[in-house]
């Protein structure tokens, strides 16, 4: 490594961030970039560890110590080549990834981990400024055509990979613009949409065709799709929201989180909202669900000037230290405070919602809740809960947002038309590929396609240089 004692010399620091009172006045990103000397120091904190567990912590298998060393040496072209050997869109992951690589960082055993996610964002933004990021597509085409259904991060990555391999790719999106949840789910204060537009333009320049406001299964049948393309990739994601069907669910003012977040993203981008407006202005808001989507609802409600914002979690409040059931290098179950929580939120832990309570107009006015206690096993994992006797009470609210995750794909019509097999939970049954590829890098079955890295270009060269073959 560039500085083998850097982790001893420099503490972990965060880039500059606007104060809550300032950022609540707008929907733009509010986290800045490191000054050059500080970026150099943060990269120097990467240890010369024998086994870099950050590789396994990263779902993409990013080659993290190597790009940290390149950043330390200020070799931005090298850092960019290494990063993009495994990551199609560092500008997205560098902003919204939960960074399990940092939880797996060897340094995090006894200290604060390397600021991997922030360094990743800096590499790609510097690469854009330096002009390294250019459309990549083979001049020699394979003659194969592929339809990609869904333009979220998975669909965009598939389109990028198959185009780079020489195939002609068309991406179908039911919404007015491509991006999926990146555009319509993630708030602008975490990911401004010009970042998506910048990447879409690069994909179009590489040859990807986007057909928006086309819903496969309705506007275009599955048979028409299969007849028009050599292969079809299904990248629609799991967009069916999990329900909380309690007494009073029919009351006005109870909405899924994505309904709420999508509307606000449309407003910010001056796209018409074609359904009843959901706004938190002057209301008491309760968000049920303690994940990232719930946090996004908190930040959005505060920007809409809600009177109060509360967030419910049925589990007990996690501790500050790693519990036994998520030891290093696993992503730990610990107490986390997001930037949205910093902006104002009453967080309730160990709360069970029992009913929605309404007023005379048929609108929600409160939630009936009770406290719960959890029984845990020897490792601290939750096993079962019990209500605390006599703890029933009402929490006033006029807007309830359900942020309880997703249960599976929403476009059942398309899946039925394609004859796709579902598993016992209603998700698409997708067999795992073999650990060691034994045949061609990709094949052409009737309804799906596997993406492969191209045999040339900077991504493949970088992978070879670091002794890795990357299969996607």
pLDDT in tens, 92-144: 999 999 999 999 999 999 899 999 999 999 999 999 999 999 998 777 899 99
Measured CA to CA, the distance from residue 387 to residue 373 in angstroms comes to 6
Query: Considering the entire predicted model, what is its pTM?
Result: 0.88
Tell me which of 132-136, 259-263, 364-368, 415-419 is least confident: 415-419
Measured CA to CA, the distance from residue 98 to residue 330 in angstroms comes to 13
- The candidate with the shortest Cα–Cα distance to 84, out of 232, 202, 178, is 202
Measured CA to CA, the distance from residue 278 to residue 255 in angstroms comes to 8
Helix (H) or strand (E) holding 367: strand 364-376
Confidence at 434, pLDDT banded by 50, 70, 90: low
Q: Give pLDDT, residue 435.
A: 60
DSSP state of 216: B
Six token digits for residue 54 = 């950050």
List, in order, residues 6 or more apart from 77 with CB less than 8 Å away: 127, 130, 132
Tell me which of 126-130, 333-337, 390-394 is least confident: 333-337
Residue 391 vs residues 5, 127, 318, 386, 394: alpha-carbon distances, Å? 54, 56, 21, 11, 10
Residue 122 vs residues 32, 36, 91: alpha-carbon distances, Å? 10, 10, 9
List the beta bridge partners of residue 353. Answer: 369
DSSP state of 371: E
Confidence at 455, pLDDT banded by 50, 70, 90: very low
Measured CA to CA, the distance from residue 88 to residue 86 in angstroms comes to 7
Residue 292 half-sphere exposure, CB side, CA atoms within 13 Å? 10
* Chain Cα centroid distance, residue 54: 18
User: Which residue's structure tokens are 């002794």?
Assistant: 467
Pairing verdict, β 346-349 and 308-313: parallel
Pairing verdict, β 351-358 and 240-241: unpaired
Are 429 and 423 in contact, with CB atoms under 8 Å apart? yes
List, in order, residues 6 or more apart from 198 with CB less than 8 Å away: 91, 128
Residue 461 has pLDDT above 60, yes or no: no
Residue pLDDT, tens place only, 140-198: 899 999 999 999 999 999 999 999 999 999 999 999 999 999 999 999 999 999 999 99
Residue 344 has pLDDT above 50, yes or no: yes
**CB atoms near residue 420 (< 10 Å):** 17
Q: Helix, strand or coil for residue 148?
A: strand
């Amino acid at each position: 490594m560039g500085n083998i004692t850097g982790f001893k010399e420099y503490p972990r620091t965060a880039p500059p961030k606007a104060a809550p009172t300032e950022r609540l006045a707008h929907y733009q990103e509010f986290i800045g970039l490191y000054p050059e000397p500080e970026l150099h120091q943060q990269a120097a904190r990467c240890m010369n560890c024998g086994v870099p567990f950050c590789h396994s912590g990263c779902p993409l298998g990013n080659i993290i110590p190597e790009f940290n060393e390149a950043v330390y040496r200020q070799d931005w072209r090298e850092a960019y080549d290494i990063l993009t050997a495994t990551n199609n869109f560092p500008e997205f992951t560098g902003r919204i990834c939960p960074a399990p690589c940092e939880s797996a960082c060897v340094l995090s055993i006894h200290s604060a981990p390397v600021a991997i996610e922030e360094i990743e964002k800096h590499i790609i933004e510097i690469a854009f400024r330096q002009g390294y990021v250019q459309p990549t597509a083979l001049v020699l085409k394979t003659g194969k055509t592929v339809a990609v259904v869904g333009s979220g991060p998975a669909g965009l990555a598939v389109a990028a990979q198959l185009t780079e391999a020489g195939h002609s790719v068309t991406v179908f999106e039911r919404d007015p613009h491509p991006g999926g949840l990146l555009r319509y789910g993630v708030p602008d204060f975490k990911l401004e949409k010009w970042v998506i537009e910048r990447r879409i333009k690069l994909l179009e320049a590489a040859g990807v065709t986007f057909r928006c406001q086309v819903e496969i299964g309705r506007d275009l049948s599955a048979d028409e799709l299969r007849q028009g393309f050599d292969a079809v990739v299904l990248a629609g994601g799991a967009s069916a929201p999990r329900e909380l069907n309690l007494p009073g669910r029919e009351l006005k003012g109870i909405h899924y989180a994505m309904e709420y977040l999508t509307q606000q993203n449309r407003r910010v981008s001056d796209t018409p909202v074609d359904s009843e407006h959901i706004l938190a202005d002057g209301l008491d808001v309760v968000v049920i669900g303690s994940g990232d989507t719930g946090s996004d609802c908190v930040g959005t409600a505060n920007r809409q000037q809600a009177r109060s914002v509360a967030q419910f979690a049925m589990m007990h409040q996690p501790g500050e230290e790693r519990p036994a059931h998520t030891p290093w290098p696993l992503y730990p179950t610990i107490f986390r405070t997001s930037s949205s929580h910093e902006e104002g939120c009453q967080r309730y832990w160990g709360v069970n919602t029992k009913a929605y309570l309404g007023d005379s107009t048929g609108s929600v006015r409160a939630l009936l809740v009770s406290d719960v206690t959890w029984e845990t096993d020897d490792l601290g994992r939750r096993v079962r809960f019990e209500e605390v006797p006599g703890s029933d009470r009402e929490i006033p609210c006029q807007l309830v947002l359900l942020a309880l995750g997703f249960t599976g794909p929403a476009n059942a019509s398309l899946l039925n038309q394609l004859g796709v097999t579902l598993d016992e939970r209603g998700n698409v049954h997708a067999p795992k590929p073999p650990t060691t590829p034994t045949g061609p890098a990709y094949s052409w079955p009737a309804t799906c396609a596997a993406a492969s890295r191209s045999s040339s270009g900077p991504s493949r060269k970088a992978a070879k240089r670091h002794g890795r073959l990357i299969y996607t």
